Structure 1
Amino acid sequence: MEQTVEEEKGKVTKTTIRYFIQLLRSAGIPKLVLFLAILLSMVGAVTGLVVPLITGQLIDNFAADSFNVRTVGFLAILFLLEAVASGLSYYMLAFVGNQTVNKIRKRLWSKVLALPVPFFDKHRSADTMSRVANDTNEVKTLITDHLIAFCSNLLTVIGAVAILFYLDWRMTLIILIAVPVGFGILMPIGGKMYKISISMYGQLAQLSAMLTQVIGEIRLVKASNAERKEEKSGYDDMDSLYRFGMKEAKINSVLIPLMSMVMVVLLVVIIGYGGVRVSSGALSAGELVSFILLLFQIMFPFSQFATFYSQLQKVMAATERLRLILEFKPETDDRAIRLAPQGHRNIEFKKVGFAYHEGETILSDVSFAIPAKKVTALVGPSGSGKTTVFSLIERFYTPSGGEIWFGSDEIRDYTLDSWRRKLGYVSQDSPLMTGTIRDNIVYGREEPVSEEEIAEAARLAYAEGFIEALPRGYDTEVGERGIQLSGGQRQRIAIARALLRKPDILLLDEATASLDSDSEHEVQKALNNLMVERTTVVIAHRLSTVVEADQIIVLEKGHITGSGTHEELIESHPSYVEWAKKQFQTGE
Structure 2
Amino acid sequence: MNNPTTSRPQGAGTKPFLTLLKETKPSYGLLAIAIGLSMISTLVGLVIPLFTKNLVDGFSLASVSKLQIAGIAGAFIAQTIAAGVSIYLLNYVGQKVVSGLRDRLWRKFLVLPVSYYNDNRTGESVSRMTNDTGIIKTLVSEHLSTLFTGAVSIIGSVSVLLYLNWKMTLVLFTVIPLSALILVPLGRQMYKISKGMQDETASFTATLSGVLSEIRLVKASGAETREYEAGRKGIMNLLSFGIREGKINAMISPLVSFVFMMLLVVIIGYGGMQVSAGVLTAGELVAFILYLIQIIMPLTQLTTFFTQIQKAKGASERIIETLAAEEEQYAGSREANGAEGPIILDNVSFGYKSGELVLKQLSFRMLPGQVTAIVGPSGGGKTTLFSLLERFYQPVGGRIMLGETPVSEFSLRSWRSLIGYVSQDSPLLAGTIKENLGYGLERDISEEEMRQAAAMAYADGFIDELPEGYNTDVGERGVKLSGGQRQRIAIARALLRNPKILMLDEATSSLDSQSEAVVQKALSNLMAGRTTIVIAHRLATVVNADQIVFMEKGRITGSGRHEELLEDHALYREFATQQLQMNIPGIEAEGQTRGIEEVTVANGQDTGSGRRPAYPRIGGSIPES
Per the normalisation by structure 1, the TM-score is 0.96
One-letter amino acid of the structure 2 residue matched with residue 79 of structure 1: F
What is the rounded CA distance, in whole Å, between the counterparts of 2:259 and 2:87 in structure 1?
29
Return the offset for 1:279. Answer: 1.7
Residue from 464, 479, 484 that aligns with 2:480: 484
Any idea what SS the aligned residue of 1:575 has? helix
What is the rounded CA distance, in whole Å, between the counterparts of 1:222 and 1:291 in structure 2?
68
Query: Would the aligned equivalents of 1:495 and 1:530 in 2 still touch at CA under 8 Å?
Result: yes
What is the rounded CA distance, in whole Å, between the counterparts of 1:409 and 1:208 in structure 2?
44
1:293 equivalent to 2:272? Answer no
Query: Would the aligned equivalents of 2:123 and 2:205 in 1 still touch at CA under 8 Å?
Result: yes
Distance of aligned partners of 1:19 and 1:4 in 2 relative to their CA distance in 1, 3 Å threshold: closer
Any idea what SS the aligned residue of 1:357 has? coil
Query: Would the aligned equivalents of 1:135 and 1:322 in 2 still touch at CA under 8 Å?
Result: yes
Return the offset for 1:62. Answer: 5.2
What is the rounded CA distance, in whole Å, between the counterparts of 1:502 and 1:179 in structure 2?
74
Report how many residues are paired: 584
One-letter amino acid of the structure 2 residue matched with residue 130 of structure 1: S
Residue from 190, 197, 200 that aligns with 2:197: 200
Deviations 1:174-199 (A, max 9, x none): 11223312321222112211111121
Return the offset for 1:439. Answer: 0.8
Any idea what SS the aligned residue of 2:481 has? coil
Q: Which residue of 2 aligns with 1:269?
A: 266
What is the rounded CA distance, in whole Å, between the counterparts of 1:371 and 1:149 in structure 2?
69
1:302 equivalent to 2:299? Answer yes
Q: Which residue of 2 aligns with 1:23?
A: 20
Q: Which residue of 2 aligns with 1:576?
A: 572
Q: Which residue of 2 aligns with 1:256?
A: 253
Query: Would the aligned equivalents of 2:345 and 2:399 in 1 still touch at CA under 8 Å?
Result: yes
Query: Would the aligned equivalents of 1:377 and 1:549 in 2 still touch at CA under 8 Å?
Result: yes
Residue from 401, 409, 413 that aligns with 1:413: 409
Deviations 1:44-77 (A, max 9, x none): 0101101111122122235798566554443333
Return the offset for 1:344. Answer: 5.8
Return the offset for 1:371. Answer: 1.1
Return the offset for 1:96. Answer: 0.3
One-letter amino acid of the structure 2 residue matched with residue 218 of structure 1: I
- Aligned ranges for residues 547-586 of structure 1 at < 5 Å? 547-585=543-581
Comparing 236-245 with 69-78, greater Cα deviation is found at: 69-78
Any idea what SS the aligned residue of 1:360 has? coil
Residue from 223, 228, 241 that aligns with 1:226: 223
Deviations 1:82-123 (A, max 9, x none): 111111000000000000110111011111111111111111
Query: Would the aligned equivalents of 1:461 and 1:529 in 2 still touch at CA under 8 Å?
Result: yes
One-letter amino acid of the structure 1 residue matched with residue 116 of structure 2: F
Return the offset for 1:525. Answer: 1.1
Return the offset for 1:517. Answer: 1.1
Query: Would the aligned equivalents of 2:16 and 2:317 in 1 still touch at CA under 8 Å?
Result: no
One-letter amino acid of the structure 2 residue matched with residue 489 of structure 1: Q
Per the normalisation by structure 2, the TM-score is 0.91
Any idea what SS the aligned residue of 1:61 has? coil
More helix by share: 1
Query: Would the aligned equivalents of 1:14 and 1:320 in 2 still touch at CA under 8 Å?
Result: no
4+ runs of 1 displaced by more than 6 Å?
A: none
Comparing 336-345 with 414-423, greater Cα deviation is found at: 336-345
Q: Which residue of 2 aligns with 1:541?
A: 537
Deviations 1:397-434 (A, max 9, x none): 11010011100100001111111111110000011011
What is the rounded CA distance, in whole Å, between the counterparts of 2:348 and 2:290 in structure 1?
78
Q: Which residue of 1 aligns with 2:491?
A: 495
Query: Percent identity at matched positions?
Result: 49
Any idea what SS the aligned residue of 2:344 has? strand
Q: Which residue of 1 aligns with 2:388?
A: 392
What is the rounded CA distance, in whole Å, between the counterparts of 1:362 and 1:297 in structure 2?
68
Comparing 307-316 with 271-280, greater Cα deviation is found at: 271-280
Return the offset for 1:4. Answer: 7.8
Return the offset for 1:163. Answer: 0.8
Residue from 123, 140, 145 that aligns with 2:142: 145
Any idea what SS the aligned residue of 2:57 has? helix
Query: Would the aligned equivalents of 1:376 and 1:537 in 2 still touch at CA under 8 Å?
Result: yes
What is the rounded CA distance, in whole Å, between the counterparts of 2:581 and 2:29 in structure 1?
78
Any idea what SS the aligned residue of 2:427 has? coil
Q: Which residue of 1 aligns with 2:236?
A: 239
Structure 1 residue runs of 5 or longer lacking an equivalent are none
Q: Which residue of 2 aligns with 1:216?
A: 213
Distance of aligned partners of 1:396 and 1:228 in 2 relative to their CA distance in 1, 3 Å threshold: same
What is the rounded CA distance, in whole Å, between the counterparts of 2:507 and 2:218 in structure 1?
26
Query: Would the aligned equivalents of 1:61 and 1:68 in 2 still touch at CA under 8 Å?
Result: no
Q: Which residue of 2 aligns with 1:507?
A: 503
Superposition RMSD in Å: 1.8
1:101 equivalent to 2:98? Answer yes
Q: Which residue of 1 aligns with 2:29?
A: 32
